[in-house]
Amino acid sequence: MRRLPRFAALRAFEAAARLESFQLAGAELHLTPSAISHQVRGLEAWFGQTLFRRGNRQVALTDEGRRLLARLTPAFDAIEAACAELGPAPKANGLSLHAVPSFATKWLGPRLPAFMRLHPEIQLRLSASADPVDLLRSDDYDLAITYGQAPDARGLVTEPLGSEEILALAAPTLAARLDLENPRALGRLPRIESTLNPVRWADWFQLNGLKLPAGGGGPAFDRGALAVSAAVQGLGLALESRRFAAEELARGDLIVLGEGRFKPIRRPLHFLCYRAADRGRPRVVAFRDWLRAAVAADD
């Protein structure tokens, strides 16, 4: 007899770890976030190990969790491939979406239940990773939400998802230490770097007529959500999209540095992509139109 934990718990963990969100895992598996959390806690009890560090609506893998994910993902990929070979063709009402992680976790995930209520006939499958996908070379996905530069290729439709506000963000206790009448004071605090963000601190200082201070290097993160979380912890000033920090700003965990005094940078950062040949497919149209409306409601 194989000595294994419950398969449902392994599946819940793998989805939550891959998507970095209990909420997104619940949407993928058609479970509530609390059900995902319950399954994961059961798995942690079985192993006697903590697999996630839990924060305010955020989760991060422990070293043990990363080791388990590294083994589970190939195993689940193999199981999926074996089932696909023997199983029926995908249902006609399925819709597969790939999205960059921070957008999926911080903005899209909380809104997906509204889409699912509006279109219960569509079986949505969401995958989140920083790895780019090529819709023209692979049919694994119907749509993709990309970050940074808009993809430009013949046969691909690319739509910007609105113009985002990129703001200087700080924990209230950190901002209280700054004398905004003295621009040099900005150079005395660490500046968190979002390595994949095309908007740099030099852009923000230039827009506001300030000289970029020497030094001030802080921690660097490859995801905007991590940069926002670091700012909440008081590790430095973050330069990130309001979309990624909306909850933290609403709760007062972060404030906009010098709001009304300093100008934000505005530009599109996220883009919806789909094949030109699919522009008339009903479920692609349904998701595109819903996403457009959700973005417009935020503006």
Residues 23 and 72 in one domain: yes
Residues 103 and 156 in one domain: yes
Q: What is the pLDDT of residues 31-50, one digit of tens each?
A: 788 888 899 999 999 999 89
- pLDDT at res. 73: 83
Residues 148 and 19 in one domain: no
- pLDDT at res. 295: 94
Amino acid letter, residue 16: A
Q: Please give the DSSP secondary-structure letter assigned to residue 187.
A: G
Please list the residues that pair with 239 across neighbouring strands: 168
Residues 126 and 185 in one domain: no
pLDDT band of residue 171 (cuts 50, 70, 90) is very high
Distance CA 118, CA 34 (A): 22
Segments forming the whole domain that contains residue 130: 94-162+269-298
Residue 290 placed within a domain: yes
Residues 155 and 275 in one domain: yes
How many helices (DSSP H) and strands (DSSP E) are in the chain?
A: 11, 13
Q: Give the orientation angle of helix 109-118 with respect to helix 282-298, to 10 degrees.
A: 130
Q: Which of 52, 70, 86 is the last residue of a domain?
A: 86
Distance CA 205, CA 150 (A): 25
Q: Which of 56, 86, 116 is the last residue of a domain?
A: 86
Residues 274 and 158 in one domain: yes
- pLDDT at res. 134: 87
Residue 2 placed within a domain: no
Residues 158 and 173 in one domain: no
Residue 187 burial (10 A CB sphere; 0-12, 13-18, 19+): middle
Q: What is the CATH number of the domain that holds 116?
A: 3.40.190.10
Residues 216 and 76 in one domain: no
Tell me the CA distances in angstroms from 12 to 25, 71, 99, 130, 153, one per residue in order: 7, 15, 19, 21, 36
Q: Comparing 85 with 276, which gets the higher pLDDT?
A: 276
Residue 28, pLDDT > 80, answer no
Entry pTM? 0.70
Strands 164-170 and 265-267, by their bridges, are antiparallel
Helical H runs in the chain?
Answer: 7-19, 22-29, 33-47, 63-86, 101-103, 109-118, 172-175, 201-207, 224-232, 242-251, 282-298
pLDDT band of residue 256 (cuts 50, 70, 90) is very high
Give how many domains the chain has, as a whole number.
3
Closest C-alpha to 173, from 237, 224, 221, 220: 237
Residues 20 and 54 in one domain: yes
Q: What is the pLDDT of residues 73-119, one digit of tens each?
A: 888 878 877 776 776 555 567 899 999 999 998 999 989 999 999 99
Residue 1 placed within a domain: no
Residues 263 and 169 in one domain: yes
Residue 46 placed within a domain: yes
Residues 206 and 136 in one domain: no
